[in-house]
Amino acid sequence: MRVHPASCALSAALLALPAAAQNLPQKHPQRPFSNASSYAEASLPAVTVAASGVEDGADDGDALARRTVPLESAAATASRLEAPIKDIPASVEVLGRAAMQSRGDRTVLEAAEKAAGLSASHTPGSPASFSARGFAGGVSLLYNGLPIPGGAVTSSRVLDTGNLARIEVLRGPSSVLHGAWGTGAVVNLITREASFERQRPELDYSLGSHRAHRLHLGAGGALKADTLAWRLDYAGAHAHSPVQAVRTVKNQLNASLLARFSARLRLTLALDHASDNTRNVYYGTPLINGRLAGALRHINYNQLEDGIFKARNTWLRVHLQWDAAPGWQVDGRLYALKGFSDWRNIEKFVWLGGAAPASQRVQRSSWVNLDHHRDLIGGRLDVLRRNQIAGRPNRLLAGVDLSRLQFASWRNDYGGRDEVSAWQPPVVTRFGSVGRAKTPARETTVRQASLYLEDLLEITPQLKLMTGLRHERIQGRWLWLDRSGHPQARKTHRYTAWRAGVVYEAVPDLHLYASLSTAAEPGSTLLLANPQQSQLRLTTARQAEIGVKQSLWEGRGEWTVALYDIRKRNVFVPDPQRPADRIAIGQQSSRGLELTAAWRPAPQWQLQANAAWVRARYDDYQSGNPPVSYNGHRPPMTPALALNLGLGWRPAPAWQFDAWLRRLSRVYVNDANTATLPAYATLDLSAAWQASPQTEITFRVRNATNALYAHAVHYSGTQAMLAPPRSYEIGVKWRF
């Protein structure tokens, strides 16, 4: 395996820093390492923002009172300058551990959908796909600030929230900070890590409908006071499904070790492993005359005796934090990811109908037998300088980011079709008859190198200017082994992205902001590009945004509003004639409004709400022969309106009741805007009893109204991914 020379140099520099720092003369007094810092993610004792309150390592007992707090804390997803969120000219939200537990969010999907403007549109092949700001699939995923290669298409998994400290959401383009990724938003999954703060041992267990078991175990603390700390978390789930024959097993293990060499130098080592294995995974329910079929919601058309749907990812991370001198901080990261996915399924279903139930048939096709291998290695080095310009405080960060991703896919698909009973589909061993051995299909290598700057200048105590600049080079190499002649291709992309914004504190705790930013993205994952797509230019985007952030009543209330306009050029969309391929169109735009609010009128009551309205449209899109214009049409899977409303009530210290209402408008499922998924509303209810200082018992009802709705369509709209019906859960939390 060849290693990028620049990666070797960066690795050597990072590993040499601890020894170099120990030998530096102590010309200034040592000061404690800043905890309230994006450079101390691993040990943040408390991160709080907007309607979501975030605490990790704190006592979970009074979650209701902690979900509305000032906008004073930092979020590294939005800025690496350690600036509080109120000083960042962008729309930022943090979903904290306490809030996720109180709402009963079991997975990242359930948690992230409660952020303003995010809606999930996931399928088994893209298990963490979201829509935001009018762009379906326009959300990038980060893992502890690091990009997940291939995004929702190849590498993401539906992770359990048990091992997470928080989820940070930055809405809008983010190329300046995170490279060529999604324009709609960035979702950063931040795990719990070693800390010198007090961390009580935890055991959480729940039992739910469809024999669903979920377990979380966690412990950590100081091995040697102020010198060595550890953290270990395990999350596991085993569940059947309302859909017949589906069985899922998930396991996650997160381990970290924190070494403090001095008051100015610390090193965190982290090892994370996640695996999932689903038997007879649900691939959707065929639509009947374009409508959702509730009568079929429990039937599984993907039943194979030799079926497989499993994956595993292992991360190794090294994080060095060094206060090099007064006003200087160095933050370095090395990381590696090894991942593997394996599929053997029937994926496409079309309703054929029939005069009577006994004669009604469904056609099955797209027999998929493939695997993906992923190897990612990279490093990032940031240097932060705190100084003054013309007597005014200034923070300047400069950084370099290098990575190399190797991707390989083997497959042995079968193109046959069969017709089965719509009500009693048979269990078959199809791949046993055509052979299971896979052959190499493609190899892809993507190398990335970037330089970036970020600056925050306090022009006056009330007025701040934030700017950023990034130049990135992306080199792609493809080898298609499943095509005649084994064609190869190479392509190098270069782009420069920038952002500039001002924040003005009009009155105490009321901040107004405005910003402009640009971004670039591949339009679709580079890993799966065909020979024609590999040579297409990057999609470019430009956004203008204005907003308001205010904290009220000594932190008992807060609200934010953001208005934005985004225009993307050279946009990639599925080819209407061949949906598996992507074509480039002229322009797509969106314009919208986002609101978040939280209010704690009394210690017993908590109100939370967010709303997002967006007008998304194609501005320049023609396809077909003769050409058909889709100008003015709304892109598929982009709801015009998304609403969330949460209510919490604590009538007595030992009791808490919560309700969460979610409403999503209808979405179109094709570019012609001739087919839709209907609007829906869901209601989740919960009651929690603090039986003792160490024990809490909860009871939950999800989708209490038993709403029939779908969160995605699959294969050109012939089938829909129906959401689960009403379910129940009882759980217990122990803190020792």
Indicate the average pLDDT of the chain. Answer: 87
Could you give the CA distance from residue 155 to residue 429 in angstroms, rounded to a whole number?
A: 28
452, 401 Cβ separation under 8 angstroms: yes
Alpha-carbon distance 621 to 576, whole Å? Answer: 12
Pair of tokens at residue 664: 């999503």
Strands 185-191 and 139-143 turn out to be: parallel
- For 371-392, what is the mean pLDDT? 95
Sign of the CA dihedral 104, 109, 112, 114? Answer: negative
Q: Is the pLDDT of residue 57 over 60?
A: no
Note the pLDDT of residue 470: 97
- Provide the phi-psi class of 624: left if phi over 0, else alpha when psi is between -120 and 50, else beta: left
Residue 92 · residue 168 · CB < 8 Å: yes
- Strands 265-279 and 247-262, bridge-based pairing: antiparallel
Q: Does 97 have pLDDT greater than 60?
A: yes
Distance, CA of 199 to CA of 57 (rounded, Å)? 5
Statement: residue 580 has pLDDT above 50: yes
User: Where is pLDDT greater, at 301 or 154?
Assistant: 301
Question: Which pLDDT value is given to residue 435?
Answer: 59
Structure confidence at residue 138 (pLDDT): 81
- The enclosing domain of 16 has a CATH number of 2.40.170.20
Return the minimum-mean-pLDDT range out of 7-11, 134-138, 695-699: 7-11
What pLDDT score was predicted for residue 454? 98
Neighbours of 97 (CB within 10 A): 27
* Contact by Cβ (8 Å): 4, 317: no
- Pairwise CA distance, residues 280 & 307, whole Å: 6
The whole-number pLDDT of residue 434 equals 55
CA distance 348 to 367: 8
What does DSSP assign to residue 441? E
Confidence of residue 151 (pLDDT cuts 50, 70, 90): low
Indicate if the pLDDT at residue 661 is higher than 50: yes
343-372 pLDDT, tens per residue? 999 999 999 988 899 999 999 998 888 999
pLDDT at 534: 83
Q: Is the pLDDT of residue 193 over 70?
A: yes
| 169-183: burial string, b at 16+ Cβ within 10 Å, e else | bbbbbbbbbbbbbbb
* Encoded amino acid at 106, one letter: R
Q: Are 360 and 421 in contact (CB under 8 A)?
A: yes
Render pLDDT for 506-520 as a digit per residue (tens, 0 to 9).
Answer: 999 999 999 999 999
pLDDT(60) > 70? no
- Take residue 142 and report the two structure tokens written for it: 């980060």
User: Domain range for residue 648?
Assistant: 5-414+423-735
Q: b/e for 120-147, b at 16 or more Cβ within 10 A?
A: bbbbbbbbbbbbbbbbbbbbbbbbbbbb
Number of residues written out for the chain: 736
- Using alpha carbons, select from 401, 403, 402 the residue that is nearest to residue 376: 403
Q: Count how many domains the chain has.
A: 1
- Assign residue 163 a region (left: φ > 0; alpha: ψ between -120 and 50; beta: otherwise): alpha
Q: What pLDDT, in 10s, does the model give residues 254-299? A: 999 999 999 999 999 999 999 999 999 999 999 999 899 999 999 9
β-pairing verdict for 463-480 and 605-620: unpaired
Query: Among 94-103, 376-385, 524-533, 588-597, which is the least confidently predicted range?
Result: 524-533
Work out the widest C-alpha separation in the chain, in whole angstroms: 88
Instruction: Inform me whether the pLDDT recorded for 702 exceeds 90.
Output: yes
pLDDT of residue 341: 92
Read off the pLDDT of residues 19-52 as tens digits, 9 standing for 90 and up. Answer: 444 444 343 333 333 333 332 333 222 333 333 3
Sequence-ordered list of residues with C-beta below 8 angstroms from that of 409, at least 6 positions apart, any chain = 370, 371, 372, 373, 440, 441, 442
pLDDT at 624 over 50: yes
> Strand, helix or coil at 499?
strand
Task: Retrieve residue 308's tokens.
Answer: 């497989």
Report how far residue 437's alpha carbon sits from residue 422's, in angstroms, rounded to the nearest whole number: 30
Average pLDDT over residues 201-206: 97
- Give the pLDDT confidence score for residue 41 in this predicted structure: 32
Q: What is the mean pLDDT of residues 231-248?
A: 95
Cα–Cα distance list, 42 to 6, 47, 196 (Å): 26, 12, 10
- Return the pLDDT at 120: 86
With 80 as the cut, is the pLDDT of residue 179 above it? yes
pLDDT higher than threshold 80 for residue 6: no
pLDDT band at 2 (very low <50, low <70, confident <90, very high): very low
Q: How far is CA 329 from the centre of its chain?
A: 28
Q: Would you state the pLDDT for residue 128?
A: 77
Q: What is the 3-class SS of 639-650, one letter each residue?
A: CCEEEEEEEEEE
Give the per-residue pLDDT at 153.
Answer: 54
Token duo for residue 171? 């809405």
pLDDT score at 7:
43
pLDDT-based confidence at residue 156 (cuts at 50, 70, 90): low
Statement: residue 662 has pLDDT above 90: yes
Write down the pLDDT at residue 385.
Answer: 97
Q: Which of 370, 297, 312 is nearest to 706 (CA)?
A: 297
- Whether the pLDDT of residue 590 is over 70: the answer is yes
What is the pTM (predicted TM-score) of this model?
A: 0.89
pLDDT higher than 60, residue 577: yes
In whole angstroms, give the CA distance from residue 102 to residue 659.
Answer: 10
Q: What percent of the chain has pLDDT over 70?
A: 87
For residue 155, the model assigns a pLDDT of 54
Could you give the C-alpha distances from 684 to 117, 642, 721, in angstroms and in order?
19, 16, 20
| pLDDT for 25 | 39
pLDDT at 150: 64
Reduced to 3 DSSP states, what percent helix, strand and coil does the chain have, rounded to the nearest 5? 10, 55, 35
